[in-house]
A and B are shown apart, each in its own frame.
Chain A
Amino acid sequence: MGLLMQTTVNGILIGGIFITIAVGFSISYGVMHIVDFAVGEWIMLGAFSAFWLNQYTKIDPLLLIPFIALFFALIGYLFQPIIQKVVNIKHRSAAMMALAFTFGLSTLLRGAALTLWGFNNRNLVTVLSEMNVNLFGITVPAIRAAATVFSILVTAAFAFFLYRTKTGITIRAAAEDKTVAGLMGIDGHRISRLVYAIYVGLTAMSGVFIGSIFSVFPDMGLRYTAFAFFVVVAGGMGSFSGAIVAGLLLGLISSFVSVYVGGAYVFLILFFILYLILVFLPKGILGKGW
């Protein structure tokens, strides 16, 4: 019974971290229609910047989060026009070229990180890293709980923003048809930049959590790209509630398979389920995706 509860809590906490990434990713996919292979590298860069800033300022990484989010949002904002240039190509497979472009970008960023900072693992320590809370015999690592709560809050805020504010409606309009949005006085390119900025900011911010829960190294992105894809696709691209459910599903599957089936089968089963969801529920578990 204790183990069952603990396994459930663990599961929730594993998946929680990836919800924010999924939300940012799917909204950027919705507006720009490209699958960004560099998502893992934004995570990595977010984690690294938290690490370096912490080294030099000694400020707790958790307090640095707003700053990192803003900084990377700015980077995304400045960088987006280059990707947009690829997306705008009048070619049947412009979206594919853009995808290949992000693949190149991911290689480039990884190579740069490896060259610049070496291959070493780094530890990102926050005040919460050392703590855990004991609830009815269940141990809850504080940093993971914080990450999950934070994820859900960010997601909810973002959902509110998209569905309840005028700018949100604008973004959804641009996601569907930028030409028509243009006729309504909406600058599609500015929206794309805005959305990409939000996405990069959110992803880098999640990187701070991921970095402090696990560790920080140049290749870390590869690993988390897979998880991010899982949550995005299983939840249904563009679906917020779907992202939350899929994030929790990811965690629960990992956790329960590890404990009750065997650790070796975690990814096998995870990818099998992702495949089944894709084939039989292509709009995501809740059927709400694009």
Chain B
Amino acid sequence: MAKIMEVENLEVVYGVIKALQGISFYIEEGEIVTIIGANGAGKSSTLRAVSGMVRPSSGTIRFKNKDITNSPSHLIARQGLSHVPEGRGMLTKLTVEENLILATYNRKDHAKVKEDMGDVYKQFPRLSERKKQAAGNLSGGEQQMLAIGRALMTGADTLLLDEPSMGLAPLFVKEIFAVIKRINQAGKTVLLVEQNAMTALHTANRAYILENGAVLKSGKAGDLIDDPEVKNAYLGGH
């Protein structure tokens, strides 16, 4: 399959802190790839650099055969890449529906927009019940649904999800992962960052293990689950 994204020697620096030391990875179309790593390993920084929220200090990012390394985030988004950031990025004063409409800002295919809106509401019936409610008043799980729904509404074919399970009750965690699977099956490429490494590895096709801003290991998700080192460091032993 074709590589939809290729990242080479990506470096991100915050003031004096070097968050990424030059990492490389790729994603093929239709894959779920997960990035796993300890706190501060640089997972979020990777996503932020890819989506243009932070500017890398060096390295290149190619998306759909275009160099997007220094493009601003709104232009990257328009290429069909959608980032659900850490903390969900709710626009709390806008209603659920407005949040969804907003995401279609740059779309011209109005008929498809309608259809997608229907799909999102079907996918997350809870959201359709809360259409007119301000996003800020949703519970944590509902906000997570809205964040993913919004990403779908952008019409993007590639989603970057940053810890979608954070702060969610176990029951919801399962639901979110099921949703991710479903989305993927519907044809979206997903780059997933997770602390919940076990579940992430079970969901993904391939995985990268990040440590101190560098790629420690990479490979098939299934293989990594059985890797003793990975098991020890990220899956909580045994």
Contacts and interface: CB of A to CB of B under 8 A. Distances in A.
A183 B147 CA distance: 11
A185 B75 CA distance: 6
Contacts of B106: 185
Contact of B74 (A166, A169, A182, A290): A182
Interface string B94-108: 100010011111100
A46 B201 CA distance: 63
A185 B94 contact: no
Given A172-B93, A176-B91, A177-B89, A182 B77 contact: yes
A180 B143 CA distance: 14
Contacts of B150: 184
B90 to A, nearest CB: 8
- Which among A170, A173, A177 has the greatest number of chain B C-beta atoms within 10 A? A173
A170 B101 CA distance: 9
Contacts of A177: 89, 91
Q: How large is the interface on A (under 10, 10 to 19, 20 to 34, 35 or more residues)?
A: 10 to 19
B77 A184 contact: yes
B103 A169 contact: no
Given A169-B98, A169-B101, A183-B83, A176 B93 contact: yes
- Which among B51, B72, B74, B106 has the greatest number of chain A C-beta atoms within 10 A? B74
- Which among A176, A177, A182, A187 has the greatest number of chain B C-beta atoms within 10 A? A182
B102 A183 contact: no
B144 interface: no
B82 A182 contact: no
A139 interface: no
B73 interface: yes
A138 interface: no
Contacts of A180: 85, 89-91
A182 B89 CA distance: 11
Nearest to A187: B74
Nearest to B84: A183
A290 B92 CA distance: 12
B17 to A, nearest CB: 14
A121 interface: no
Nearest to B90: A180
Contact of B94 (A169, A186, A187, A290): A169
Contact of B51 (A170, A173, A181, A183): A183
A179 interface: yes
Given A166-B105, A169-B101, A169-B102, A184 B94 contact: no
B77 A185 contact: yes
A242 interface: no
B93 A182 contact: no
Given A180-B85, A186-B74, A187-B74, A172 B53 contact: no
Given A183-B89, A184-B102, A172 B78 contact: no
Interface in A183-236: 183-188
Contacts of B93: 172, 176, 290
Interface string B43-58: 0000000011100000
B74 A185 contact: yes
- Which among B73, B84, B93, B104 has the greatest number of chain A C-beta atoms within 10 A? B73
A175 to B, nearest CB: 8
- Which among B84, B102, B103 has the greatest number of chain A C-beta atoms within 10 A? B102
Contact of A182 (B73, B92, B94, B101): B73
A164 to B, nearest CB: 11
Nearest to A180: B89
Contacts of A188: 74
Contacts of B53: 179, 182-183
Contacts of B90: 180
Contacts of B60: none
Nearest to B155: A185
B105 A185 contact: yes
Interface in B166-202: none
Contacts of B158: none
Given A169-B94, A188-B74, 17 more contacts: A166-B101, A169-B98, A169-B101, A172-B93, A173-B94, A176-B94, A179-B73, A179-B85, A183-B89, A184-B82, A184-B102, A185-B74, A185-B103, A185-B154, A186-B74, A186-B102, A187-B72
23 contacts: A169-B101, A170-B105, A173-B94, A176-B92, A176-B93, A176-B94, A177-B91, A179-B73, A179-B89, A180-B89, A181-B91, A182-B72, A182-B74, A182-B77, A183-B51, A183-B77, A183-B89, A184-B103, A185-B105, A185-B106, A185-B154, A186-B74, A290-B93
Interface of B: 51-53, 72-75, 77-78, 82-85, 89-94, 98, 101-106, 150, 154
The 5 A-B pairs with the shortest beta carbon distances in the complex, nearest first, are A185-B77, A182-B73, A180-B89, A185-B106, A187-B74
